[in-house]
Structure 1
Amino acid sequence: MVTGSRYETKVVLTRPLSVDGDSDIDYRAPNLSQRITSLFKSVLPGSDLTRLKLPPLFNYPKSHLQCYGETVYCIGSDMLSRCNQADNSIERFTSVVAWSISTLRPALFGCAPYNPILGETHHVSRATLNVLLEQISHHPPVSALHATDEKQNIELIWCQHCVPNFHGAWVETEVQGKRQLKLLCRGETYEMNSPNLLIRLLPMPAVFWTGNVRIRCPENGLEAELRYGPKSSFLGLRGSHRSVKGKICETSTRKTLFELNGHWDRTVTMKHNDSGKQTVIYNAEEVLSGLKAPIVNDPQGVQSTESAAVWRELSMAIMSQDWEKAKQAKNAVEEKQRELLRERESKGATWVPQHFSVSYSKDGGWDCSPTQQWVPPAPIVVPLS
């Protein structure tokens, strides 16, 4: 969808991927084997893929910032609010685990979102939840997210740094950094990490989430350990790519309270270790079906750094399958960034993020803190009906 007039910042917004991987992205990509062959020619084993420039043929019309944001604001059932509604600490913790699972979305083999430019932002609201993202580093690529809901007293702070590496037959992207979910009126902070994304090129192309996720809350003394994808099969050739298994236990005693089992694209059940009672804590069909594209509510409020504006020309070209125009549009965005970099270097200036304070240490990696307490309502909103 394209919105705006000559006096307003124009944007392109598309519907998010559903649980089945469907979207309104409609274009014919080159033959899959040709694209895999071109990747092999472009990189060597052990290459740093953060500097790899994919041609538009490999992109779908979204920025990484939009994809990150959609995992929070594009959702069929309000999993986030449930985290704060239960009076029982165990129920709140299991709700956080279920919400964490809901942030996983299907990935498309052979297609990737755009790498955000430095200073790119994405600002969207869903009801009383306001979400703001900013690209706080380009090399390496680091993204920050701040989301707040004053009505529910909930705050999210993410700082993510993706590190992809080519290993010959597969590409594995390690998602470094931490995610915090704060239930402010409860005085509880939940810290968690993200699974890795594995793109298998041979012998059978596939893409899936894999690895271990740990969720912990020091205030209530609980933690969860989740395992995504096959545990021991070679490159996921055996077992379910979308499986999730794990447990919830007491931090102090390591006693297992619940066992988790299921698939993040279907259902996940929780079994009480003492009683044996099973409960469905997550249903992907309820959460990820019928997702709608955000719309522009205040065209004049859209910033020029907004993802949907920065990449507008490229997204339009991809959706119309005009690959020459797409190449020109992508080059134009990248060349503008190079010009801004040369200008800063000539002046000896250092770029500073608009919305986050950023720090880096060798031991702790990248970290960020928002510069404002509450995220303001956004000019782009998610329709609720």
Structure 2
Amino acid sequence: MLGRSKDEIKVVLTKPFSIDGESEADYRAPNLIQRILSLFKNVRPGSDLTHFKLPPLFNLPKSHLQCYGEQVFCTGTDVLSRCNMPENPLERFLSVVAWSISMCRPLVFGVAPYNPVLGETHHVSSGTLNVLLEQISHHPPVSALHATDEEHDIELIWCQQCVSKFNGASVDTEVRGKRQLKLLSRGEMYEMNSPNLLIRFLPLPGVDWSGNVRIRCKETGLEAELRYGPKSFLGLGGSHRSVKGKIYETSPKRILYELNGHWDRTVTVKDNNSGKLRVIYNAEEVYSGLRTPVVKDLQGVESTESTAVWSEVSEAIMRQNWEKAKEAKNAVEENQRKVSREMESEGKTWVPQHFSLSYSKDGGWECSPVQQWVPPAPIVVPLT
């Protein structure tokens, strides 16, 4: 698939998930619970699922790279550019916290995106924001993102690795890696991590974001600690899609705001001095009016483009032609194995096209983009 010529490239784009993503997933196979339990019957609790291969019955018609990108370029309101607008550093920090919350997207139980193949890319523009992703490692799977907005002096750099483990009644996915948001004209860099993913099969099926997120800016001395809460074990708790936390100065440590709400509704902060409440995040702004990206320049689409690599698989899944989907997915994966064998026989090491990759002393992957600015993409999000 990665070796296709320009004339053979076909792109299949699917709509982003709205807040009602569960009800819109009309491509899922029937009897998913029974199928999932059957799929994991020979998997031991505690097993690492990094190399676990899913049949197309359990796939979304899109790659992980597309899902990561949609977190950034698919929003009803441009919450990212807002981060650089306030003159007050505390107001900028509150905007960054709101943007971080906006990246939580509703997920569909029982299906997962494709695991990207080595060298796969995804390049999309939304207004003045240009976003480029690349799968820079296959074993372990590491994805990198670089996004720039020259008009608003914003740069994003991500490097992340998902590690999934089967725990009998659930799959816990730890999202490792660092996310950096740079407000270039302010000379500020905000570092943060991602919440983790919890997929529960029993007693009630569901999928949630969970865990702790820390956001900090050394230049302003401000930090935030957020806690994402999943639904309770029996599904009766009120913490479903909740986010709670605090925003404080690091030196001396002084809590400025207490944060509370739900990432699929609204999030408020309470000023610890005045006691006043204010809304800093409204999910309706983020999820309303989401538009499916379109191809603006087919000749500019690379053969490594995610929506081209998986086009035949995605088409078959949306038609629920599972035999065709299986055949097409096997072809993509076999091509990956072929490329790996050829490189090994020639003694070559894979070199990412758009990033340099290193392993830090603290045990995490780090990546650096090779370009200062991401160029405009041949795939764009329509403005109207």
TM range (shorter): over 0.9
- Name 2:94's counterpart in structure 1: 94
Deviation at 1:184, TM superposition (A): 0.3
CA distance in structure 2 between the partners assigned to 1:383 and 1:156 by the alignment: 21
1:288-338 deviation line (CA, Å, top 9, x unaligned): 122110000111000000000000000000011100000000000000011
- Name 2:26's counterpart in structure 1: 26
- Name 1:300's counterpart in structure 2: 299
Is the contact between residue 222 and residue 248 of structure 1 (CA under 8 Å) also seen in structure 2? Answer: yes
Q: 1:101-140 counterparts in 2 under 5 A?
A: 101-140=101-140
Q: 1:356-371 counterparts in 2 under 5 A?
A: 356-361=355-360, 363-371=362-370
Is the contact between residue 17 and residue 23 of structure 1 (CA under 8 Å) also seen in structure 2? Answer: no
Is the contact between residue 28 and residue 58 of structure 2 (CA under 8 Å) also seen in structure 1? Answer: no
CA distance in structure 2 between the partners assigned to 1:235 and 1:225 by the alignment: 27
Corresponding residue SS for 1:145: strand
User: Please, what TM-score do these two structures have when normalized by structure 1?
Assistant: 0.96
CA distance in structure 1 between the partners assigned to 2:352 and 2:171 by the alignment: 30
Q: 1:34-53 counterparts in 2 under 5 A?
A: 34-53=34-53
- Name 1:257's counterpart in structure 2: 256
- Name 1:219's counterpart in structure 2: 219
1:189-244 deviation line (CA, Å, top 9, x unaligned): 0000000000111111111000000000000010000000159x558652322000
RMSD of equivalent CA atoms: 1.6
Is the contact between residue 297 and residue 381 of structure 1 (CA under 8 Å) also seen in structure 2? Answer: yes
Corresponding residue SS for 2:253: coil
Deviation at 1:41, TM superposition (A): 1.8
**Structure 2 residues without counterparts, runs of 5 or longer:** none
Aligned CA distance change for structure 1 residues 22 and 206 (closer, same or farther; 3 Å)? closer
Deviation at 1:28, TM superposition (A): 4.3
Deviation at 1:253, TM superposition (A): 1.6
- Name 1:267's counterpart in structure 2: 266
- Name 1:58's counterpart in structure 2: 58
What percentage of residue pairs aligned between the two structures are identical? 76
Aligned CA distance change for structure 1 residues 337 and 206 (closer, same or farther; 3 Å)? same
Is the contact between residue 208 and residue 230 of structure 2 (CA under 8 Å) also seen in structure 1? Answer: no
CA distance in structure 2 between the partners assigned to 1:236 and 1:94 by the alignment: 31
- Name 2:75's counterpart in structure 1: 75
CA distance in structure 2 between the partners assigned to 1:310 and 1:49 by the alignment: 23
CA distance in structure 2 between the partners assigned to 1:352 and 1:103 by the alignment: 29
User: Please, what TM-score do these two structures have when normalized by structure 2?
Assistant: 0.96
CA distance in structure 2 between the partners assigned to 1:186 and 1:177 by the alignment: 24
**Structure 1 residues without counterparts, runs of 5 or longer:** none
- Name 2:10's counterpart in structure 1: 10
- Name 2:314's counterpart in structure 1: 315
Corresponding residue SS for 1:51: coil
Aligned AA for 1:152? H
What is the aligned residue count? Answer: 380
Aligned AA for 2:301? V
Is the contact between residue 268 and residue 283 of structure 1 (CA under 8 Å) also seen in structure 2? Answer: yes
Aligned CA distance change for structure 1 residues 65 and 261 (closer, same or farther; 3 Å)? same
- Name 1:285's counterpart in structure 2: 284
Deviation at 1:361, TM superposition (A): 3.5
Deviation at 1:6, TM superposition (A): 7.9
CA distance in structure 1 between the partners assigned to 2:324 and 2:67 by the alignment: 24
Corresponding residue SS for 1:255: strand
